[in-house]
Copies of this chain bind each other. A is one copy, B any other.
Amino acid sequence: MIRILYFSRSTNALYDDQLEDILESSRRNNSALGITGILVHANGMFMQVLEGPEQPTLRTYVKILDDQRHSDCQIAYIAHTDKRIFEGWSMGAIARNDPLDFEKIIALQKQHRKAVVEPKIFIQTIREWLTILKDKHG
């Protein structure tokens, strides 16, 4: 399995029902492909984690690149893994009303621009997103 975390910029102000559309089609496709993950949308940015079998996950990412609702996709973290973080979540979602730590995300982006990327900080942040998800859905 492989895990990808990417950042992108929302091309337009995205309304809640449009976000629901993205999530619905993504959940449908991901279930069939064995992909799990989370979509974070806040502050005009998307951050998404995709984790699943190598080929379907990479094919899905390349399809996502062509989605006109965002631009400037950049992978912040990509690595093989033998264990899912988002087990059971065909696509969890965190949006602007959830308690996101923006300072941490900005630090994560800065980290990403450095030549040497420290994977631990990404995994730690991703795990915090899982905690937010679980808190939301009790």
Which residues of A come within 8 Å of B, CB atoms?
2, 54-55, 58-59, 61-62, 65, 73-75, 78-80, 82, 115, 117
Nearest CB in chain B to that of A115: its residue? B82
Q: How far is the CB of A48 from chain B (nearest CB, A)?
A: 15
> Can you report 8 A-B residue pairs in the complex whose CB atoms are below 8 A from each other?
A2-B78, A54-B75, A55-B73, A58-B58, A58-B61, A59-B65, A78-B78, A78-B80
Q: Which residues from B are CB-within-8-Å of A74?
A: 54
A117 to B82, CA, bound (A): 11
Are A2 and B75 in contact (CB-based, < 8 A)?
Answer: yes
Contacts A2-B75, A75-B2 hold; do A117 and B58 have CB atoms under 8 A apart? no
Are A75 and B80 in contact (CB-based, < 8 A)?
Answer: yes
Q: How far is the CB of A57 from chain B (nearest CB, A)?
A: 11
Q: Which residues from B are CB-within-8-Å of A75?
A: 2, 54, 80
